[in-house]
Amino acid sequence: MLKKTNPWLREANLIGGSWVAADDGAVIEVFNPATGEMIGTIPAVGRAEVKRAIDAANAAFPAWAAKTAAERAAILLKLAGLIRANLDALAELLTLEQGKPLAEARGEVGGSANYVQWFAEEARRVYGDTIPSPWADRRLMVTREPVGVVAAITPWNFPSSMISRKVAAALAAGCTVVVKPAELTPFSGLAWGVLAEEAGIPAGVVNIVTGHAPPIGDEFLENPLVRKITFTGSTAVGKMLAGRASAAMKRVSMELGGNAPFIVFDDADLDRAVTAAVQSKYRNSGQTCVCTNRFYVQAGVYDAFAEKFAAAVRDLKVGSGFEAGVVQGPLIDDRAVKKVESHVTDAVAKGATILTGGKRHALGHGFFEPTVLRDATPDMKISTDEVFGPVAPLFRFETEDEAVRLANATEYGLAGYFFTRDLSRAFRVGEKLKYGQIGINEGVITTEVAPFGGVKDSGVGREGSKYGLEDYLDIKYWCIGL
C-alpha cells in the first residue's frame, strides 16, 4: 500500500551518484514485521559493486575534504532541513519496515535531523593546536584531517538515526562514506541517499549499498582505500570486524551490545523510577542497546516497585505502529520472538514469577506481551544475555555494595541507570559503575550533544557530541624549521 505512495521507498543502491541494481539483478525481499507482508526488494550486491562504491567515495574525497567547513556545514544544514520537512513520510517508512510506533519513528527521524544539524555546527570547530617548541629554531603545530573513506554498517533497531550519527559526523569532518544499512530495514537507509542528493551533496560523497552482509563486510575490510570502519550491532560481529580491521590497520568505532542495569535504591522517588523504568525498558519494544536489561530493586521497596511497575506495564497498548495509542510494536522477526520466549521459559523454570505478560501476543507475527518477572536470580540467562525484547526481570538486593557488584557483573558496559535521592550515593555509585553512560534519576539519556558509547565488550569510540567528530579525524603534527 504505502509502497505506491511513499516517494522515499527506493529499491536501488546509490553508487557514485547513480541509482543501480545488483550486477546480476539479485534482490532481497523486505517484510513488514507487523503483518508479514512484503514491502519491496533491495539489491543484493556482491564485492564488485561495493568496490565501485568505495572507488566512487575515494574519487569524491579530495574535493569534499577541500571544501571549507562552512561550505560543508551549509550543505548539512540543508540536509537537516529536508529531513524535518519530510519527517512524516520518513517516519511512516521507518514504521513500515521496522515496526516501532509512529510517534517513536517521528522521534527517531527528528533525532536524525538533530544529529545532522549538530555536526553541521561542529564542522566549524575542528581546531588545531600550537605547541611551545623545545627548539629555538623550529615551530610546532597540530592540525586535524579527515580520515578518508569511511565504511558504515548499521543495525535494524534505529535504521535512520544510526546512519545520521555516523554519516553526519563523517561528512562534517570531510570524509566520504559507503553505508551498508541492515538488510531487515534498508529503506530508511536508502532514503538517506535520496535526501543527500536533494541536499546537494556531490555524487560519490555518500554511497549506499545493500545485500547479504559477508561479501559487503569482506570488501570493506580488505579494500585498502577504506580507512575507517564504523559499526553498530552485535558484540560478536563487532569483535570480528574490529579484529580484521585492526589487522589491516584501519580505524574503528564500535557501538556494540549492552546489558544495562537499572538500580532502584530504598530512598528513590518510586513514581519517578517507575515512569523511567517503563521508558527505559519498553522503548522500541526493548530493542535498543541502552534499554534496561536487569532491574535491581532494594529490599525495602521491592514489593511496592514491582506492583507499581507491573501495573504501568499492563497499560501499554500493543499493536501496529500505525494505530493510534499504540506504544508497543512488534519485534523485528521471529528469531527475536523465539529468543525472548526462551528467556522467559528459562527464568520461570528457575523460579521467576510472571507479574504480567509472558507469552506471544494474540496479534501474532512479531508481537510479544510486555512482560515483568519478579524474583529473578543471577543463574537465569536473562541476567547475562542481552534480552532485546519487552521483558523486565526484577532482582532483589540488600546493600549498596551488592547493587554495584551485581550491576558490574557483566562483560558489557554501555549504559547504566540508578535512582536515589541521596547526593553522596549518587556520586559514590556513579563513580563505581563501569559504564560509558549513566543516567541518575533518568531512564532515557541519549542526545546528539552528549557522547554515546561504551566500555568493555560494548565497544570503542563515541558518537554524537564533540567527541563523535574526533573519531573521523586524524591528527597531523607539523615541525617547521625557521
By C-beta, is 168 or 245 nearer to ligand ADP? Answer: 245
Q: Report which residue's Cβ sits closest to ligand ADP.
A: 217
Shortest distance (Å) from residue 374 CB to ligand ADP: 28
User: Of 87, 141, 237, 363, which lies in the binding site for ligand ADP, with binding defined by CB under 6 A?
Assistant: 237
Q: Could you say which residues in the range 106-165 bind ligand ADP, by CB under 6 A?
A: 153-156
Residue 359 cell numbers, joined:
507469552
Residues whose CB falls within 8 Å of the CB of residue 251, separated by 6 or more in sequence, listed in order: 147, 227, 228, 229, 245, 471
Residue 330 CA to residue 61 CA, distance in Å, equals: 40
By C-beta, is 177 or 473 nearer to ligand ADP? Answer: 177
**Only segment of 94-102, 199-207, 210-218, 273-281 that touches ligand ADP (CB under 6 A):** 210-218
Residue 348 CA to residue 354 CA, distance in Å, equals: 8
By C-beta, is 44 or 394 nearer to ligand ADP? Answer: 44
By C-beta, is 151 or 344 nearer to ligand ADP? Answer: 151
Residues whose CB falls within 8 Å of the CB of residue 50, separated by 6 or more in sequence, listed in order: 178, 209, 215, 216, 219, 220, 223
Candidate list 122, 183, 219, 255, residue with the active-site label = 255
Catalytic residue status for 255? yes
Alpha helices per DSSP H over 223-269: 235-247
Shortest distance (Å) from residue 479 CB to ligand ADP: 40
Asked if residue 357 binds ligand ADP (CB under 6 A), the reply is no
User: Of 46, 233, 443, 468, which lies in the binding site for ligand ADP, with binding defined by CB under 6 A?
Assistant: 233
Strand 251-255 versus strand 459-460 pairing type: antiparallel
Shortest distance (Å) from residue 209 CB to ligand ADP: 11
**Only segment of 23-31, 142-150, 177-185, 197-205 that touches ligand ADP (CB under 6 A):** 177-185
Residue 468 cell numbers, joined:
563523535
Shortest distance (Å) from residue 257 CB to ligand ADP: 8
Residues whose CB falls within 8 Å of the CB of residue 85, separated by 6 or more in sequence, listed in order: none
Asked if residue 217 binds ligand ADP (CB under 6 A), the reply is yes
Residue 221 CA to residue 373 CA, distance in Å, equals: 42
Residue 166 CA to residue 152 CA, distance in Å, equals: 7
**Cβ distance 108 to 158 under 8 Å?**
yes
Q: What burial class does residue 375 get, using C-beta atoms within 10 Å of its C-beta: 0-12 exposed, 13-18 middle, 19+ buried?
A: middle
DSSP conformational letter for 381: G
**Only segment of 90-98, 179-187, 291-299, 424-432 that touches ligand ADP (CB under 6 A):** 179-187
Asked if residue 214 binds ligand ADP (CB under 6 A), the reply is yes
Q: How many residues bind ligand ADP (CB under 6 A)?
A: 14
Asked if residue 213 binds ligand ADP (CB under 6 A), the reply is yes
Q: Which residues face 208 on adjacent strands?
A: 14, 179
By C-beta, is 235 or 356 nearer to ligand ADP? Answer: 235
Shortest distance (Å) from residue 289 CB to ligand ADP: 9
**Cβ distance 422 to 400 under 8 Å?**
no
Task: Give residues in contact with ligand ADP (CB under 6 A).
Answer: 153-156, 180, 182-183, 213-214, 216-217, 233-234, 237
Residues with active-site annotation? 255
